[in-house]
A and B are shown apart, each in its own frame.
Chain A
Amino acid sequence: MPNTHDVLFRTLADPTRRALFERLCREGEKTVGALTARAGVSQPAVSKHLGVLKQAGLVRDRHEGRQTHYSAQVGALAPLIDWTSQMTGFWQNRFDDLENLLKRMDQ
């Protein structure tokens, strides 16, 4: 689904947003406050980025008291890292080029 790819690429194209997602992947669930402490941007900005990540399915939020905890949804990246579908297309094209070469080669 190319549309899914577009959303994922657009969402992760922003370096600050990507850094937030990467941190959640590496360090596990975090509150907005904990993420802001090392993000280099304001808390409202972090919240906005998290909202975009959530819409793309890349993070999930969990409310606990007055705190909101965010965690990465690594499965959302599956369309980007399904190497088998990408490589199938790659090899089909290489086979075409190989056949063309064989036609040009001497016995």
Chain B
Amino acid sequence: MSNTAAATELRSVVVEREIPHPPEKIWRALTQPHLIQEWLMKNDFMPVVGHDFKLSADWGAVDCRVTAVEPNRTLAYTWGAYGLESVVTWTLTPTSTGTHLRMEQAGFRPDQQQAYGGAKAGWPRFFASLEQILARLE
């Protein structure tokens, strides 16, 4: 999908904050499994490009693969859950008072992904996750 039409259909979520702690400390929280577990989810993360890992919570699991590691600066991994294929990128920029921390999650909308992956692959997954949501509501 290297054509420009596909690129413009990407959507993303950006959350950024000024954090009064140095990048090195935030990097530890982003990359050490026992610390990741405290703010994100249980995991078998390793800061190695190509490493496959899972983030797991009581509502399900997220399949991830590390795609970029630049200590104290950049960390990126794929994020696949409930039919959403996306990439999460963390960027740490030192400031005079700590760190500007930016998280961007970019991916395709499930309906667009369905167009790429074929209706047969997309819909059953969507309905399967819908059933799980409904089961939890009861």
Point out residues on A near B: beta carbons under 8 Å: 9, 12-13, 18, 22, 25-26, 74, 77-78, 80-84, 87-88, 91-92, 94-95, 97-102, 105, 107
The stretch that binds A, out of B1-9, B45-53, B70-78, B126-134, is B126-134
Min CB–CB distance B13 → chain A (angstroms): 5
- With contacts A91-B105, A105-B35 known, is A81 near B26, CB below 8 A? no
Q: In the complex, what residues of B have CB within 8 A of residue A92's CB?
A: 15
CB distance from A56 to the nearest CB of B (A): 14
Question: Assuming A18-B127, A26-B120, is B12 touching A84 (CB within 8 A)?
Answer: yes
Residue of A nearest to B79 (CB): A87
Closest 9 CB pairs of A and B: A97-B39, A98-B39, A91-B15, A81-B110, A87-B13, A102-B21, A101-B38, A101-B39, A88-B13
With both beta carbons as reference points, the residue of chain B lying nearest to A83 in the complex is identified as: B84
A-B contact pairs, 26 of them (CB 8 A): A9-B133, A9-B134, A13-B134, A18-B127, A22-B127, A26-B123, A74-B111, A80-B130, A83-B11, A83-B84, A83-B107, A83-B109, A83-B110, A88-B13, A91-B103, A95-B15, A95-B101, A95-B103, A97-B38, A98-B26, A100-B39, A101-B39, A102-B21, A102-B26, A105-B25, A107-B25
Give the dominant DSSP class at A's interface.
helix
Q: Is the interface of B mostly helix, strand, loop or mixed?
A: helix
B25 A102 Cβ-Cβ under 8 A: yes
Report yes or no: A98 in contact with B29, Cβ–Cβ below 8 A: yes
Q: Report B-chain residues with C-beta under 8 Å of the C-beta of A98.
A: 26, 29, 39-40
Q: Looking at the complex, which one of A81, A99, A101 makes contact with B109 (CB distance below 8 Å)?
A: A81
Instruction: Using A13-B134, A105-B29, A105-B35 as known contacts, say yes or no to A84 and B11 having CB atoms under 8 A apart.
Output: yes
